[in-house]
Structure 1
Amino acid sequence: MDKVSETVMAAEVDHRLMQEFANGDPRAFELLYQKYKGGLYRYFIRQIGDKQLAEDLYQETWARVIKAAAGYERRAKFTTWLYRIAHNLLIDHVRALKPVELFSDAAIEGEPINDGQPCMQYAPEQLTTQGQKATILKECIALLPHVQKEAFLLNMEMGFTAVVIAEVAGAGLEAIKSRLRYATQSLKQCVEGKWQEQHYDTK
């Protein structure tokens, strides 16, 4: 079975489980929860860095899934719908702390990224072949602007394409492509710079 078929089948299973949960089967929710709990929690903890707050938003996301189950309609894949809820909760929280202007969806002009595949221009393992570089990469990700960090993490950890990330973030496709492009460029420069600094310091 190819990857496209596997993705379609997984989406069908998720949709069926949501329907079963809406019809009163708690086991269906448990299966969805077990399937996505790890990725969803990492999404919050990597975005925020505050474990308690990440846990609160994580639990609230699942609470909203439960609340919305009765009216769930298949307008998008379950994963897109789930992360859209998570995204909205995160934005609501950060907007209470920072100016709304930080979340402008304006695109930066540039060459388009292929939106048919995950939009990484280099594989994460190329930057994390050693423990030190893995640590540096995490530090550099934390320094990214919020919108770039979210797009990058959804792409890297969830394998979402630019099209799906645009649906999650409620942003234009070209804006998402720009965020991914500038995030990967910034991370590459940041990791290389910090690595050279550490390497120089040890000489």
Structure 2
Amino acid sequence: MPRIPGQVDEAKTEAILDAAFALFSEKGAGVSMEAIARKAGVSRQTLYNRFPSRVEMARALASRRSDAISAPLRSGGDPETVLTGMARALLEKICTQDGRGSMRGVAMLSPQAPEVAHAIYDAGPAEGLRRLSVWLAEQDRKGLLAVPDPTAAAEMFAGMTLGHGHLRGILGVPQPPFDPDARARETARRFIRAFAPA
């Protein structure tokens, strides 16, 4: 079926983001927009129509990751189920080989392209923390958790989940073996105990 004039082909957008993710993870800041277009199998014009700059592309990549990690917050489940799902998503996106490569790529480009690093942080990790903070405030209002400072609690949850996983990823240090499902469940249970209503 032909597209309506002006309609965006989402498959091409996803191909561009997949190509950018792979190349940024592998090569860091040195990746050209032309290389991304080639890998994605699209023209340079198509690429620039969707992402006029590397900042916009980086923001879209980080936003896509943040959406995936925070998806459990939109599930409407009980706090333990939601937090277990979010912890599992964090571990999957940050502590896997792809996640580790992505973090190294961002760390490498930060000094050369601080505006890209800021866009990534704001649309990715910072947005994830904002969403978790809003969700925690809602649980507090419902009386399901007692969270006087949702912003601080959101950061605590991310820290509890990842431990040194993100630091190992940035430094390229091997990750000790662990069971991500068990860690996600344990993190959620301990967090809920810490913030249980009196």
TM value normalised by structure 2 = 0.31
Q: Which has the higher contact order (CA 8 A, sep 6+)?
A: 2
TM value normalised by structure 1 = 0.30
